[in-house]
Amino acid sequence: MQSQMRSKDNNNLLMANAIRFLAMDAVQAANSGHPGMPMGMADVATVLFKDFINIYPNKPDWPDRDRFVLSAGHGSMLLYALHYLLGYKDMPIENIKNFRQLNYNTAGHPEFGHAKGIETTTGPLGQGLATAVGMALSEKLMSSRFGANLVNHYTYVIAGDGCLQEGISHEAIEFSGHLKLSKLIILWDNNEISIDGSTSLSNSANQIKRFKAAGWHTQIIDGHNHDEINTALINAKKSRKPSLISCKTKIGYGAPNLAGTSKTHGAPLGDDEIKATRKALGWSNEPFDIPSNILADWKKTTEKTKELYKEWEKNLAESPKRKRFLTFIDSNLPNSYQRKMNSFIKKMKQEMPKLATRQSSQKTLEVINQVIGNTLGGSADLTGSNLTKTTNMKTISASKFSGNYIHYGIREHAMGSIMNGVALHKGFIPYGGTFLVFSDYMRASIRLSALMSLKVIYVLTHDSIGLGEDGPTHQPIEHLAILRSTPNLNLIRPADIVETAEAWDVALKTNRPTILALSRQGLKAFRSEKSTENKVARGGYILNKVSTKRDITIIATGSEIELAMEASSLLHEDGIEASVVSLPCWELFDQQDGSYKKEVLGNCPRIAVEAACEMGWSKYIGEKGIFIGMNSFGASGPASDLYEHFGITTKAIMTSAKSLLKQF
Ligand SMILES: Cc1ncc(C[n+]2csc(CCOP(=O)(O)OP(=O)(O)O)c2C)c(N)n1
């Protein structure tokens, strides 16, 4: 054996070896996967789950459970092995035997929603760590509102070298250090190995100093020494800062010939090495056969947590805050919400103010934040531009978590993941702002919001060349197409205040992420009808019905609706009847039935106008349709000059309409 394990309790060693063998045998059976990390971190995981983590597998959704995030998601077998050993009902040995097989909940990387107890999807390195920050933040926010007898738990993370090398870790550790998220504990699998070999190939940073500089409590331990692990966790829990425990480990621990090498990182060990490992660790059991005494030791760990759960249940039942607590956890919209939202929309239809949709969003948020007590706003240092803060919102700080607004700093990537963590934790509906162009910086987090179907609302303003003088670095071109191509994500680009309010309404009621693409520049209002139907909820609709036969359809979104409407009325003067279709959300429109879509798009030539790239528009305008938009980066200048310069004009629409009609 490569290093001497020591423990007060010899059973711990057997419990850890159970994880090791489940992991190496499952990877071998699947003929793919990552045995090294679970084998290296089995000791840490054993002490953590045996003596520290309060989860009760029979109540996996217990709101006050400790959260465990396997940020090094490639080591998924560590998590699945733990779930099997702890007795999660949905993790029978059958599922371990079918690791990485289709239709089993033991996917290559942990997928949220597949098995109970998987707190978040991990795999993209660094994401889990930043998501955990959102969970630890939620704990503080909830605890400050509901007290420690209802909310008092830790968030534990196992992160690898890869997680710490990823840039997102920098944003996440700075943010959590600043807010002193003391119940966040990272166990770093410091094995100095990644895929290419030694981490020294590419890294010489002093992680301890880095974390210290960000305000963290730090410790260094032997990750195979159970006593040291135990003491370090006790110390970390006492700290008033977030805590990093550097666990010096050997990847593939136990494998006589391969441990400590990158060969164990992401490939089966092979029959011979597994045999040798069995011999080295004194494990004579067949693959997937865990002796009953070891299973019993694992199950015992849940006896204590069962009691804790029952105590908490009693606390909740007796708490005067019970109802409000459950409203937060379930994120139910209060009864008064719809009434208030409808009357706001009605008023806006009467007033028809000309506003930038970012302003319309703020106006809508004023209504939302008055009635919904658990929205959690924020911005990546663009509060005054994104207009995400409303009158009564209070900023949170390390000494005050009773607020509901977060200054994320210039950390878009972490902001996205932190919001994911907040949504996963339950309690708050997070929304956060930045410029649409910087969705690139948090793309990986947005993708995970979508993959996990989380109610996270991205308020992305300055949505086109219409932002003007800041120029091409700040003007999104391809972003709408990229975001629209992401499955399970609603991108809404509203045209006026009514559409903006409707977009928020949809976002609050949808169990998936929403991106609100909002303008910097003022936009005319168009909606004034009496009906209370939320038209954005259908994704697209006819904004101005022509009274006679429709000659042409002009489809637009957001700020270009104004051009489309103007072109339509000028075309009418020339005897051409053009309907304008507002299509703020492709995803929702695509879900409508065929006849509705046909009726909206019309059986006639079509033009699409959008100050963005063309990609994707052909499905609405057909091969012969004309797209008016951007086919290059933008430029710096006043918005009106830019629209002229790039040919996104009423005149261009009219010319296109006339030329199309000649062809048909
Ligand atoms: C963002 C991201 N980039 C690349 C990868 C591919 N990848 C998976 S594991 C890994 C190496 C991770 O090294 P480490 O964290 O030290 O894990 P260990 O070798 O200890 O298992 C890489 C590059 C990934 N999963 N996510």
Task: Compute the distance from residue 203 Cα to the ligand 1 centre, in Å.
Answer: 14
Looking at residue 9, what is its pLDDT?
A: 63
How far is Cα 555 from Cα 543, in angstroms, rounded to an integer?
Answer: 10
| pTM attached to this predicted model | 0.98
| 412: annotated active-site residue | yes
What does the block give as tokens for 573? 């003067």
Looking at residue 547, what is its pLDDT?
A: 79
Residue nearest to atom 9 of ligand 1 (CA): 74
Please check the confidence at residue 625 and state whether its pLDDT lies above 90.
yes
Please check the confidence at residue 365 and state whether its pLDDT lies above 60.
yes
Looking at residue 619, what is its pLDDT?
A: 97
- Mean pLDDT along residues 492-500: 98
Q: Which atom of ligand 1 is nearest to the CA of 199?
A: 16
Lowest mean pLDDT among 102-116, 245-259, 307-321, 536-550: 536-550
Q: Which atom of ligand 1 is nearest to the CA of 444?
A: 1
Task: Compute the distance from residue 223 Cα to the ligand 1 centre, in Å.
Answer: 19
How far is Cα 20 from Cα 277, in angstroms, rounded to an integer?
Answer: 10
Supply the Cα-derived Rg of the chain in whole angstroms. 28
Q: Which atom of ligand 1 is nearest to the CA of 72?
A: 15
Residue nearest to atom 13 of ligand 1 (CA): 194
Q: Which of 189, 194, 201, 248 to mutate to test the pocket of ligand 1 (most atoms within 8 A of CB)?
A: 194
How far is Cα 273 from Cα 258, in angstroms, rounded to an integer?
Answer: 8
Q: Which atom of ligand 1 is nearest to the CA of 160?
A: 15
Taking each helix axis as running N to C, give the angle between helix 226-238 and helix 36-51, from 0 to 180 degrees, rounded to the nearest 10: 60
Residues 11-42: pLDDT tens digits? 899 999 999 999 999 999 999 999 999 999 99
Task: Compute the distance from residue 13 Cα to the ligand 1 centre, in Å.
Answer: 27
Lowest mean pLDDT among 141-150, 229-238, 331-340: 331-340
Looking at residue 14, what is its pLDDT?
A: 97
Looking at residue 10, what is its pLDDT?
A: 79
Side chain identity at residue 596, one-letter code:
Y
C-beta separation of 249 from 36 below 8 A: no
Task: Compute the distance from residue 157 Cα to the ligand 1 centre, in Å.
Answer: 16
Mean pLDDT over all residues of the chain? 97
How far is Cα 435 from Cα 442, in angstroms, rounded to an integer?
Answer: 11
Looking at residue 577, what is its pLDDT?
A: 97
Residues 85-136: pLDDT tens digits? 999 999 999 999 999 999 999 999 999 999 999 999 999 999 999 999 999 9
Task: Compute the distance from residue 60 Cα to the ligand 1 centre, in Å.
Answer: 28
Q: Which of 129, 191, 195, 447 to mutate to test the pocket of ligand 1 (most atoms within 8 A of CB)?
A: 195
Please check the confidence at residue 7 and state whether its pLDDT lies above 60.
no
3-state secondary structure of 506: helix
Residues 36-75: pLDDT tens digits? 999 999 999 999 999 999 999 999 999 999 999 999 999 9
Residues 271-306: pLDDT tens digits? 999 999 999 999 999 999 999 999 999 999 999 999
What does the block give as tokens for 304? 């204590």
Please check the confidence at residue 6 and state whether its pLDDT lies above 50.
no
Please check the confidence at residue 8 and state whether its pLDDT lies above 90.
no
Please check the confidence at residue 5 and state whether its pLDDT lies above 90.
no
Task: Compute the distance from residue 7 Cα to the ligand 1 centre, in Å.
Answer: 30
Share of the chain above pLDDT 90, in %: 97
What does the block give as tokens for 650? 């009423």
Please check the confidence at residue 2 and state whether its pLDDT lies above 70.
no
Q: Which of 125, 166, 200 to mutate to test the pocket of ligand 1 (most atoms within 8 A of CB)?
A: 125
| 338-346, Cβ contacts within 8 angstroms, sequence gap of 24 or more | 340/367, 340/370, 340/371, 341/367, 341/368, 341/501, 341/505, 342/532, 344/501, 345/498, 345/501, 345/502, 345/532, 346/532
Task: Compute the distance from residue 445 Cα to the ligand 1 centre, in Å.
Answer: 17
Q: Which atom of ligand 1 is nearest to the CA of 165?
A: 15
Residue nearest to atom 23 of ligand 1 (CA): 195
Please check the confidence at residue 250 and state whether its pLDDT lies above 80.
yes
Work out the angle at residue 358's Cα, subtended by the Cα atoms of residues 464 and 608, and round it to the nearest 5 degrees: 40
Task: Compute the distance from residue 126 Cα to the ligand 1 centre, in Å.
Answer: 9
**Which residues surround ligand 1 with Cβ inside 6 Å?**
34, 36-37, 72, 74-75, 123-125, 160-163, 166, 189, 191, 193-195, 251, 265
Residues 156-186: pLDDT tens digits? 999 999 999 999 999 999 999 999 999 999 9
> Of 592, 618, 588, which is closest to residue 606 (Cα–Cα)?
618
How far is Cα 178 from Cα 216, in angstroms, rounded to an integer?
Answer: 9
> Of 597, 620, 609, which is closest to residue 646 (Cα–Cα)?
609
- Mean pLDDT along residues 377-399: 98
Q: Which atom of ligand 1 is nearest to the CA of 163?
A: 15
Indicate the burial class of 598 (C-beta count within 10 angstroms; 0-12, 13-18, 19 or more). exposed
Annotated catalytic residue, options 412, 562, 587, 610: 412
- Mean pLDDT along residues 237-262: 98
How far is Cα 409 from Cα 357, in angstroms, rounded to an integer?
Answer: 23
| 400-406, Cβ contacts within 8 angstroms, sequence gap of 24 or more | 400/144, 401/140, 401/141, 401/143, 401/144, 402/144, 402/145, 404/141, 404/369, 404/375, 404/376, 404/377, 404/428, 405/376, 405/377, 405/378, 406/137, 406/376, 406/377, 406/378, 406/432
Looking at residue 434, what is its pLDDT?
A: 98
DSSP single-letter state for residue 53: -
- Residue 420 has a CB neighbour count (10 Å cut-off) of 28
Indicate the burial class of 355 (C-beta count within 10 angstroms; 0-12, 13-18, 19 or more). buried
Looking at residue 3, what is its pLDDT?
A: 44
Q: Which of 44, 74, 157 to mutate to test the pocket of ligand 1 (most atoms within 8 A of CB)?
A: 74
Indicate the burial class of 473 (C-beta count within 10 angstroms; 0-12, 13-18, 19 or more). exposed
Give the full edge-to-edge strand order of the sheet including 541-544.
541-544, 578-582, 552-556, 606-609, 626-628
Looking at residue 1, what is its pLDDT?
A: 41
